[in-house]
A and B are shown apart, each in its own frame.
Chain A
């Protein structure tokens, strides 16, 4: 039979104890497991050790001091007595010792012959062999005048007088021991108090922290379960947990916005891409059913390709809006001249405007440096000009010259890129939602376009930390791309 290694046995026993403790204590165990409580324990241990060391040192030093004082007193007395002996001989010494020994609270005295017979003094009993050799000894003793006959401790010195007499002088140690005991007791009490208070404090702090963390955990669970509107509780106390909660809430805010955008995009894709897809499918089906020759098939196929190209274009625009709206950090930002962009776009659209009988004026006389993505800003501006030409050209307001002004300028710390036309404009009530995806006002249904131009422009403005402003040009529309000069502000973690 092979004996099981004892260590393994002990281990499983300990594990069993642990699990028992765990199930028995439950919430308490959770409390003991908190960082706050563990930290408290560590501090408590360090503090208790420190207190113990301090008190120990104090006690030891006090004891040493008292001993030193006794030694000095006894030395002085012996010196004095020896002097008396030298001057007046043994008779005088006996006389002096007798008179001193009778004083209350006096030192211990014993004068003996070389054989050990007592001549004078107040010591009745001594430890064995104390008198045999001179020097310092700690010994038990009993005073002659002590009726109860209790043994005490004393520190004594034995001194050899020249003619064989021995002189013993000592002092009681009771005072020293009592002080020592008092200090030790105080030490024990204070350490016990430190431990109790520390544990209670740790318990309290841990419970408080645990309570708040539990609240946070609870909220984050509901958020994870799908309720993105939930927010972590904050107390406004600006402590570290509150700051964490505030920052996490800001993060949740962002996630919620992203999720909302994502949902919107997928809804729109589902809705607005299905329609042209269905149309395309119908056209193909119809061609299969009714076509009477190669030219019919060809026409149907060409129509299909055209429509799929349009779909791809819409899809690209949607993706781009989504990317711009999600504020992708990967969009490269550089310093470029917005006036240059205005001239470029103006030059690109000038022939088109001209063809429609519209005067396209570029008002960007001075360089207007701005930090951003040149490509996206130019595209946004091109969208605005495209729109202006589309609407100002075909829905011209009576009696107004068809003029579009593209303007680049600076206002404070913002760069303004505006496109003003004399078309029908956008009614004030529609301005807010016209930037939504696929929104096309009734009057523009007849124009080609996906309804994504303004959404894209608005998304680009937001990506740069700016906005798209739509105003009345009296008559007409003034669309302004407002961009911060230094580019988008990077989100800073709040302090």
Chain B
């Protein structure tokens, strides 16, 4: 995966770039809005990571310019402004995801991979399959080894989101945002309880667990 990091804080940018390279991605860096625009227009990227406050040209205007030039590369906005209205503004300006600072690298990585995958186009499939687990998005049927599993509507959406991103880490915040549409941080980790419920429904009685907890990051559904 090829990434462009537009961030004026040199240390932060170096840190992210290094971390992405460690997990096997290619990361370019641009220190300001104008250079970021030039890079994004010049090369093909899978995901752009853009800081909101940049010298020369601010993040939102950079995204707007890219979108008017017909470049639809997914954009993740990084920002020190984490309030509801700021996020709405960022997404309205053409961003695809919004991550307030400070963030953990595992969160950033999970979100960037989700964005890149979205582009890869699993969204259009009607049936998601992971090993012998199947989820039919049209009939809302879930089966494992041909046995039907009855899920509550919310459990279904949770599993749907996890399977859409099968093989990728999905963080608790991502689940809260995408499955519940809540953008706040509950004091107790309520998501864990939902996951363990779901797990008991899809993994209980099978020798091979599919829903894994990734320590310090989140969850992942995967074969093996």
Contacts and interface: CB of A to CB of B under 8 A. Distances in A.
Contacts of A448: 187-188
B146 to A, nearest CB: 27
A389 B189 CA distance: 12
Prevailing SS type, chain A contact patch: helix
A382 B194 CA distance: 16
Contact of B85 (A313, A332, A390): A332
A382 B186 contact: yes
Nearest to B182: A378
Contacts of B70: none
A415 B185 CA distance: 24
Interface in A364-410: 373, 375-376, 378-379, 382-383, 386, 389-390
Given A389-B188, A390-B188, A348 B85 contact: no
A317 to B, nearest CB: 8
Nearest to A306: B216
Contact of A351 (B82, B185, B194): B194
Interface residues of A, number: 33
Interface string A334-366: 000000000010011101100100000000000
A313 B85 CA distance: 19
B193 A331 contact: no
B180 A344 contact: yes
B84 A373 contact: yes
B187 A453 contact: yes
Given A316-B82, A332-B88, A375-B182, A352 B102 contact: no
A309 interface: yes
A241 interface: no
Given A305-B216, A348-B180, 10 more contacts: A316-B82, A316-B185, A330-B85, A331-B85, A348-B182, A349-B190, A352-B190, A373-B84, A383-B187, A386-B187
Interface of A: 302, 305, 309, 312-313, 316, 319-320, 323, 330-332, 344, 347-349, 351-352, 355, 373, 375-376, 378-379, 382-383, 386, 389-390, 448-450, 453
14 contacts: A302-B216, A313-B185, A330-B85, A347-B154, A348-B190, A351-B193, A375-B84, A378-B182, A382-B186, A383-B187, A389-B188, A390-B188, A449-B187, A453-B187
Question: What 8 A-B pairs are tightest by C-beta distance, nearest first?
Answer: A351-B193, A379-B184, A352-B193, A386-B187, A375-B84, A352-B190, A351-B197, A332-B85
